[in-house]
Chains A and B, each alone.
Chain A
């Protein structure tokens, strides 16, 4: 008896050791990034690069502020642009794509199969190639240099509806039928049944969508020209090119570090929703 107990304990310990080793491996880039953000100038240019910072300093962060704080646009404007655009895209995309996926998965109207195959093919197309035609549409709608240009094209994304449809397919039809018998309307079923049950799915969607939009500098690059419409990644990206690159390496490292904080925050907020929702939904299939 005590021997089998020892074996299970030992196995558990082995599992933890294995997991911790893996975590150590995956966290290397993060450690490297954080330590680079706090490196003084001479350590930034060491070759071969050192993994850990020797004399940590906040200089890079001040460099970042002075490098991006042009006389026209304060640094906080970039942060606001990025936050506003990302949040607007995520929320509207969530509602629009979930409604679409609900129809494709549970209504199955004539043509649903065709629409789904179009979605699948659109998934595979590289967004860079369609950027020019998209620009033409945006400019003919007169939206260049507005927030609309950064938000509208990214709402009806193929990946989001594909993801939600795959998850909605997991929901048993019996659950919806039961709600129908109880007299719930389709609209109510969508919000009270489908969305309630698929909390892990849309929490995942929020996380992915936020990260993708937060990091995206490409659409701001193509759809906007004015300095005040730039998003944070584009503002930092412009630091990487242009003159005085050497002096700005520190600012770049600090900017990269700051850029990763909001996605981490969103992840920590929503990852709780991904777990343990099944307990409350009460489905038995």
Chain B
């Protein structure tokens, strides 16, 4: 009896490996191998561009990033700062909007589309064009008609803060579409019967949010947290990414670019390990119950 069960179990695992195989092959070939290769490359530098001659430089590239290159550290700090400030704002704002959109309000489809459109446009080429045209700051602040007199009354430091907040908010509005959609999909996964029974027990909306909604979408919150973090770090328009790309493709210093890429990667990796470790107890997986 147990023997038969074991073989069944083994059969199931075998099927599992077969199902995951196409993904695993693709991943190993086009992601894992390049990753390992780039680590190897980080300890080398291209000397002959024509036939890709490499020369071992030891820790030279890392030394260059931290000691010799005057641009790397300031860029790195500014990118980290942006991510740390933007991520919580984006998460709270997108959860808020997703909950609003999940209610039965009139014109729900319209609102959903309206909040997602910036993503459709903001990703890629169009965003660059708009940022280039200065929409990120002047046009939008002027566009929503904040009169200049308001800034005059507030004094230079305070108006600068308000101005920064406004332009940051604009960027955040553009970046929340994906998160709103993910939260919406997560909210849709919560069975309405839970709310009904809670309502019968006399729970308020506020209690239901903390006791039902939040725990049940916690895997999606984690997903969104990781997504937002990674998205803000690996955004093509992010100045660090531009710098790495220029180093690799314009200056043809592949080794140095790989080195910077790995420093960057290790930092995000550590950050997310901290995030995962600290949220482990907070995230509820219904599937495991």
Q: Which residues of A contact B (CB under 8 A)?
A: 15-16, 19, 22-30, 32-33, 36, 48-49, 51, 96-97, 99-100, 102-107, 109-110, 115, 118-134, 136-137, 152-156, 158-159, 161-163, 166-173, 186, 190, 200-201, 203-204, 207-208, 211-212, 215-218, 233, 236-237, 252-253, 256, 259-260, 263-264, 267-268, 271-272, 274-279, 283-285
- Residues on A with C-beta less than 8 A from B114 are 23, 26-27
Since A97-B23, A274-B184 are in contact, a sample of 20 more A-B pairs with Cβ atoms closer than 8 Å, ordered by chain A residue number, is: A16-B105, A29-B118, A30-B117, A32-B143, A100-B22, A109-B16, A123-B226, A126-B244, A128-B236, A129-B244, A132-B41, A137-B30, A137-B33, A166-B220, A170-B285, A207-B181, A260-B121, A271-B109, A274-B185, A275-B184
Measured between alpha carbons, how far is A134 from B33 in the docked complex, in Å? Answer: 8
Measured between alpha carbons, how far is A264 from B244 in the docked complex, in Å? Answer: 31
B13 and A107 contact, CB distance less than 8 A: yes
CB-contact partner of B287 in A99, A120, A172, under 8 A? A172
A128 and B31 contact, CB distance less than 8 A: no
Known: A103-B19, A274-B181. A233 touches B130 (CB 8 A): no
The answer to the question of B75 belonging to the interface, with a C-beta cut-off of 8 Å to chain A, is no
Q: Which residues of B contact A (CB under 8 A)?
A: 12-13, 15-17, 19-20, 22-27, 29-35, 37-38, 41, 97, 100, 105, 108-109, 111-126, 129-130, 133-135, 138-140, 142-144, 170, 173-174, 178, 181-182, 184-186, 188-193, 216, 219-220, 222-223, 226-227, 230, 233-234, 236, 241, 244-245, 248, 254, 257-258, 261-262, 264-265, 268-269, 272, 276, 285-289
CB distance from A12 to the nearest CB of B (A): 8
A204 and B185 contact, CB distance less than 8 A: yes
B35 and A130 contact, CB distance less than 8 A: yes
How many residue pairs, one in A and one in B, have C-beta atoms under 8 Å apart?
A: 289
CB-contact partner of A22 in B17, B26, B97, B139, under 8 A? B97
Please report whether the interface of chain B is mostly helix, strand, loop or mixed according to DSSP: helix
CB distance from A263 to the nearest CB of B (A): 4
Closest to A203 in B: B185
For A36, A166, A252, A260, the residue with the greatest tally of chain B CB atoms inside 10 Å of its CB is: A166
Known: A26-B117, A166-B222. A104 touches B20 (CB 8 A): yes
A278 and B41 contact, CB distance less than 8 A: no
Measured between alpha carbons, how far is A137 from B27 in the docked complex, in Å? Answer: 13
- Residues on A with C-beta less than 8 A from B258 are 129
Closest to B188 in A: A200
CB-contact partner of B174 in A26, A105, A203, A284, under 8 A? A26
Measured between alpha carbons, how far is A276 from B13 in the docked complex, in Å? Answer: 34
A29 and B31 contact, CB distance less than 8 A: no
A126 and B248 contact, CB distance less than 8 A: no
B269 and A285 contact, CB distance less than 8 A: no
B26 and A152 contact, CB distance less than 8 A: yes
The 8 A-B residue pairs with the shortest CB-CB distance in the complex, in nearest-first order = A156-B26, A215-B124, A129-B261, A100-B23, A133-B34, A107-B16, A130-B34, A133-B37
Measured between alpha carbons, how far is A144 from B137 in the docked complex, in Å? Answer: 41
7 contacts between A and B (CB under 8 A): A26-B118, A103-B19, A120-B276, A158-B31, A167-B185, A267-B120, A272-B109
B261 and A126 contact, CB distance less than 8 A: yes
- Residues on B with C-beta less than 8 A from A25 are 144, 170, 173
CB distance from A56 to the nearest CB of B (A): 18
B233 and A30 contact, CB distance less than 8 A: no
CB-contact partner of A129 in B38, B113, B138, under 8 A? B38
Known: A29-B122, A130-B35. A256 touches B129 (CB 8 A): yes
Measured between alpha carbons, how far is A265 from B26 in the docked complex, in Å? Answer: 29
Known: A26-B114, A27-B117, A126-B244. A152 touches B15 (CB 8 A): no
Measured between alpha carbons, how far is A217 from B123 in the docked complex, in Å? Answer: 12
A259 and B125 contact, CB distance less than 8 A: yes
- Residues on B with C-beta less than 8 A from A233 are 124-125
- Residues on B with C-beta less than 8 A from A155 are 26
Measured between alpha carbons, how far is A278 from B245 in the docked complex, in Å? Answer: 44
Closest to B97 in A: A22
B188 and A274 contact, CB distance less than 8 A: yes
A129 and B287 contact, CB distance less than 8 A: no
- Residues on A with C-beta less than 8 A from B264 are 126
B124 and A32 contact, CB distance less than 8 A: no
CB distance from A265 to the nearest CB of B (A): 10
Known: A204-B181, A233-B125. A128 touches B20 (CB 8 A): no
Closest to A257 in B: B126
A133 and B191 contact, CB distance less than 8 A: no
